[in-house]
Structure 1
Amino acid sequence: MKKEETTTKVIKETKFVHALIPLLFLIISLGYTLKYTEASPHIPIIISGIVASWVAMFGLNYKWETILEGILETIKSSMEAAIILLIIGMVVGSWIISGVVPTMIFYGLKIMNPSIFLPATVLLSFVAAVATGNSWSAAATIGIALMGIGAGLGIPAPITVGAIISGAYMGDKISPLSDTTNLAPAMAGSKLFDHIKSMLYTTIPSFIISMIIFTVMGLKYSQVEVDASSLNSILETLVSNFNITPLLFIVPAMTIGLVIKKAPSIPSLLFGSLIGGVAAVVFQGTPVKDFITVLQSGFVSNTGNEVVDGLLTRGGMNSMMGTVALIICALFLGGVMERTGMLNAVARKILSIANSTGSLIFSTLLTAFAVNVLAAEQYLSIVITGRIFKDVYREKNLAPVMLSRALEDCGTMTSPLIPWNTCGAYMIATLGIAPWVYVPYCFMNLISPVISAIYGFTGISIKYLDKEETKKEKTSLKYMFATLLNVGK
């Protein structure tokens, strides 16, 4: 970093060791907090930001005013994502009280068939995650029911868990209601729906391969008759508490229509929440005052069925406050490290071995995975990796969607595979599974980073900033499959 003179001191050059101090403190404090106190990661992150500030002020001679300016600029750059997250809370609550989410779950459950249990499990988890924008809620509700059904079929629990996680994270990854799906483009500087479109190139092949594997694995269990009592209980509860009708699919269809027309994210999602209110009044007879309360505080389900109540008690603007606060805490740390050159020091260290497009994307995937392992938090994996590589991708003429896609392909997808990561610990506790044993069956999560790396080295679906390079980008499905078919010829 270029030296700048102040009234009393000269700012020193930021080196890798300076960045290493707050990062090591973050890893240690997060590990202690998550393991021994079971508290949220907010406090360790904010304290790590203070440690980074001390290093900058007393080790590099930065003024606090300069550091604060960097913090505020970094937080400001991600305020759109924070607003979207709050609106997503409104949408989730709106779509539950209107019966949209119950209808999606109802028809998803209707496809259950013993001969296709494993691929159906993937699809049901996918539907639940897309509908709620949350892989955790899918696992904690539909996932629990599927674990019981799988046990009745004689299917090993680790395989069922792998199918649940594969489907849930596929749905979470492409849902515009997902917090990580909104956070990744915010960190990379890309647009939400451009990001989702770009992810289809890695998620669709990964999903197809996973479905094929689960279908083949499930064939030997197809002759066992399923005990559908828990499944019927969920269906009966949904029907008795909501007016289930295919007409409710109009609400998500209209919202998706706006997306296809490339309408801005915030107006589109706001429209989705408001049209859900119209559906709530028309189809469920909901009073307007109750709908407004749900937008703020979320929907509370009191059906008496624990699985259904667990699935549908969520949403509302208030439900996103913790996530928004966590993002701001992480951006506090990121703002300090960016303004004082610490992130650049880390980037320079990585770039010393990442010279090509393939090696850069591969380094991004490894960094995201390393943060997931060391910092044990998928939000940090996305935020820290995104801040490190954002400018590097622009210098290499790569479009921001390439970075946001890589952040999700590894940062989001590998988080449930690590037992001490918040996502891994949650899945283990919720689904009642031992650590590690389910990891080999999370095919979607394992395949997605591999395909992303292959694309980086082969040039498939790589998008550039330069117009001339963009004309040459290999993004069409026709090119992709043609390339795959010609491998080895």
Structure 2
Amino acid sequence: MVKTKRKPTLFEAVSCLIFMGLIIGIGFGIFKIGIQILLVVSAAYAAFIGKRVGLTWEEMERGVSVRLGNVMPAIFILFAVGIVIGSWVYSGTVPMLIYYGLKFINPTYFLVTAFVIVAIVSTATGTAWGSTATAGVALMGIAVQLNIPLGMAAGAVIAGGVFGDKLSPLSDTTNLAPLVCEVNLFAHIKHMLYTTIPAALIGMIVYIIVGLKLYGNEKVDTTAIQSLMAELDSIYNWNIFMCLPFIVIFWGAYYKKPTVPIMLLSSIVAVIVGMLSNGFSFVDGMQSMVNGFNISMVNVAGFDTTAISETVLKLINRGGIFSMTTIAVTIICGYAFAGIVEVAGCLDVILTSFYNKVEKVWQLIGVTIAGSVALVFTAGVASISIIMVGTLLKDAYDKMGLDRRNLSRTLEDAGTMLLPFVPWGVSGIFYLEVLGVGPGSYWMWAVSCYLCIVFAMFFGFTGIAIAKSDKNTTASHAIKPQKEKSLV
């Protein structure tokens, strides 16, 4: 007998989120159990609910497969980032940024400087991951030597990366949100300035105040810094050609080239630079792309690898495509849960229950935020929340006489900006792997990331920066956005 399919009850739908929150909160937060197996257990419970509503195992498998297919471009970028890190250390590009950063960056203004640098790189490239894995890695190395708390440093770096990612026309979420809401890409970016710029300015003010308080009257002990710089000097032969891998990335961003091929091209250039500048072998260059750079690759007469300090080894023994396998496995496990929850109809039921209670503008903004936050913390990626919440609520914005730019902006305020705070999410795990700091340490210092939803709600209550729909101009806002260029 074929079981009749039905929609899950609100209790069944919400129970999937509650179960996942409990299992991860207890297992990961208290007992430090690997997040991957906890996501699999959560997926098993979601499958139980799927079975109750009449889904077959094959249908649940297809739901997972579809979601994994959608996330494959992000996995490609992950592997490309691993290759870039390994090859850029091999070439000396990242160590050079650390070396000269230690010379010129003032500890008092380190946090605000880190935010601005990464924001510029992220805006130009359209990827928070790429900017944090390159400029961010170098800045974290500088923070270690300047005795800047790593949670602070990572918060400023990540906030800058997400800021640029959000406002870049090359970013995937910046293209996806207006695409779902049928809004012009650049109208969407312009409207996001109302929440993003004030949040960023407040964040920078916080960074300046903290820097002045902690380091304003303090003299930095340069002994350890000089020692580290001398060790880097003994490994690399600094020259202007080490900037070429960075230039390739900016060239690709300027001409709107696909992200992954440009990252790989940059890595090839980095290997060539490393061979010619530092005398490293070609084979080691290829190995740096696979397993990361290792101090044993330095083959200079009289060079003693055992004399290199643990601090320098932590800075340069890193990267490679295999360094990203943990993140890739986590993505697969997370999408096993998200795919089943979605195909079972749980997300529709939860969002619809919110939607039915909406009567005022601030309530609609609040529902958009609540739905986005729930899905971001459920799926660990922003794309699902943007698609699901955007599709469900865009008619509500029309009925309330609001321009859909308000929806597309809020989807990013509560999706793109909050994604780094999900410990089991793709970005949370990525930043932990690359920067060595988890969300529990950096969340409070990524100031602009969470202030965006504060401004979104403030505007919802006051009506400030809330665009009204205009039937005469609706068509101008419904131009199809540019094709997305990056996946992170």
| TM-score computed with the length of structure 2 as normaliser | 0.72
Given the superposition, is the C-alpha separation of residues 189 and 66 from structure 1 closer, same or farther in structure 2, using an over 3 Å criterion? farther
Following superposition of structure 1 onto structure 2, how do residues 68-467 of structure 1 map, counting pairs within 5 Å? 68-113=61-106, 116=109, 119-120=112-113, 132-133=132-133, 141-146=141-146, 148=147, 163-173=152-162, 198=189, 201=193, 205-219=198-212, 221-301=215-295, 304-353=308-357, 362-367=366-371, 380=380, 382=382, 385-386=385-386, 388-392=388-392, 403-404=411-412, 406-412=414-420, 414=421, 443-451=447-455, 453=457
C-alpha displacement at 1:341, in angstroms?
0.8
1:48 pairs with 2:48: no
Which is worse superposed, 333-342 or 380-389?
A: 380-389
Which is worse superposed, 86-95 or 344-353?
A: 344-353
CA–CA distance in structure 2, aligned partners of residues 49 and 431 of structure 1: 27
Given the superposition, is the C-alpha separation of residues 295 and 186 from structure 1 closer, same or farther in structure 2, using an over 3 Å criterion? farther
Given the superposition, is the C-alpha separation of residues 251 and 19 from structure 1 closer, same or farther in structure 2, using an over 3 Å criterion? same
Task: Name the SS for the 1:62 alignment partner.
Answer: coil
Given the superposition, is the C-alpha separation of residues 174 and 306 from structure 1 closer, same or farther in structure 2, using an over 3 Å criterion? farther
CA–CA distance in structure 1, aligned partners of residues 164 and 271 of structure 2: 20
In structure 2, the partner of 1:64 is 57
Given the superposition, is the C-alpha separation of residues 239 and 380 from structure 1 closer, same or farther in structure 2, using an over 3 Å criterion? same
Given the superposition, is the C-alpha separation of residues 442 and 262 from structure 1 closer, same or farther in structure 2, using an over 3 Å criterion? closer
Task: Name the SS for the 2:263 alignment partner.
Answer: helix
Given the superposition, is the C-alpha separation of residues 134 and 321 from structure 1 closer, same or farther in structure 2, using an over 3 Å criterion? farther
Which is worse superposed, 125-134 or 68-77?
A: 125-134
2:16·2:42 contact (CA, 8 Å) conserved in 1?
yes
C-alpha displacement at 1:323, in angstroms?
0.9
C-alpha displacement at 1:342, in angstroms?
1.0
Given the superposition, is the C-alpha separation of residues 131 and 255 from structure 1 closer, same or farther in structure 2, using an over 3 Å criterion? same
CA–CA distance in structure 2, aligned partners of residues 306 and 262 of structure 1: 40
2:159·2:446 contact (CA, 8 Å) conserved in 1?
no
1:187·1:382 contact (CA, 8 Å) conserved in 2?
no
Task: Name the SS for the 2:416 alignment partner.
Answer: helix
- The one-letter amino acid of 2:327's match is T
Aligned residues: 435
In structure 2, the partner of 1:19 is 13
Identity of aligned residues (%): 23
Given the superposition, is the C-alpha separation of residues 443 and 139 from structure 1 closer, same or farther in structure 2, using an over 3 Å criterion? same
C-alpha displacement at 1:99, in angstroms?
1.1
1:463·1:470 contact (CA, 8 Å) conserved in 2?
no
In structure 2, the partner of 1:153 is none
Task: Name the SS for the 1:258 alignment partner.
Answer: helix
Given the superposition, is the C-alpha separation of residues 92 and 219 from structure 1 closer, same or farther in structure 2, using an over 3 Å criterion? closer
- The one-letter amino acid of 1:334's match is A
Given the superposition, is the C-alpha separation of residues 400 and 274 from structure 1 closer, same or farther in structure 2, using an over 3 Å criterion? farther
Task: Name the SS for the 2:336 alignment partner.
Answer: helix
CA–CA distance in structure 1, aligned partners of residues 176 and 333 of structure 2: 14
Ranked by relative contact order (alpha carbons within 8 Å, sequence separation 6 or more), the top structure is 2
Given the superposition, is the C-alpha separation of residues 30 and 215 from structure 1 closer, same or farther in structure 2, using an over 3 Å criterion? closer
In structure 2, the partner of 1:478 is none
Given the superposition, is the C-alpha separation of residues 422 and 108 from structure 1 closer, same or farther in structure 2, using an over 3 Å criterion? same
Given the superposition, is the C-alpha separation of residues 384 and 337 from structure 1 closer, same or farther in structure 2, using an over 3 Å criterion? same
Task: Name the SS for the 1:37 alignment partner.
Answer: coil
Given the superposition, is the C-alpha separation of residues 73 and 114 from structure 1 closer, same or farther in structure 2, using an over 3 Å criterion? closer
Gaps spanning 5+ residues in structure 1: where? Answer: 1-6, 151-159, 474-489
CA–CA distance in structure 2, aligned partners of residues 334 and 13 of structure 1: 17
C-alpha displacement at 1:41, in angstroms?
1.0
Task: Name the SS for the 1:133 alignment partner.
Answer: helix
CA–CA distance in structure 2, aligned partners of residues 56 and 431 of structure 1: 36
Instruction: Please give the per-residue CA displacement for 1:93-131, whole angstroms capped at 9, x wherever unaligned.
Output: 111111111122222222233664654565688899865
Instruction: Please give the per-residue CA displacement for 1:154-205, whole angstroms capped at 9, x wherever unaligned.
Output: xxxxxx56742432212442678xxxx98967996979xx89x959845554
CA–CA distance in structure 1, aligned partners of residues 323 and 175 of structure 2: 20
1:97·1:291 contact (CA, 8 Å) conserved in 2?
yes
Given the superposition, is the C-alpha separation of residues 102 and 140 from structure 1 closer, same or farther in structure 2, using an over 3 Å criterion? closer
Which is worse superposed, 121-130 or 447-456?
A: 121-130
CA–CA distance in structure 2, aligned partners of residues 68 and 166 of structure 1: 37
1:402·1:462 contact (CA, 8 Å) conserved in 2?
no
In structure 2, the partner of 1:9 is 3
CA–CA distance in structure 2, aligned partners of residues 334 and 467 of structure 1: 40
CA–CA distance in structure 2, aligned partners of residues 37 and 300 of structure 1: 33
| TM-score computed with the length of structure 1 as normaliser | 0.72
Given the superposition, is the C-alpha separation of residues 121 and 231 from structure 1 closer, same or farther in structure 2, using an over 3 Å criterion? farther
Given the superposition, is the C-alpha separation of residues 335 and 301 from structure 1 closer, same or farther in structure 2, using an over 3 Å criterion? same
C-alpha displacement at 1:357, in angstroms?
7.7
C-alpha displacement at 1:461, in angstroms?
10
RMSD over equivalenced CA pairs, Å: 4.5
2:40·2:334 contact (CA, 8 Å) conserved in 1?
yes
CA–CA distance in structure 2, aligned partners of residues 190 and 299 of structure 1: 40
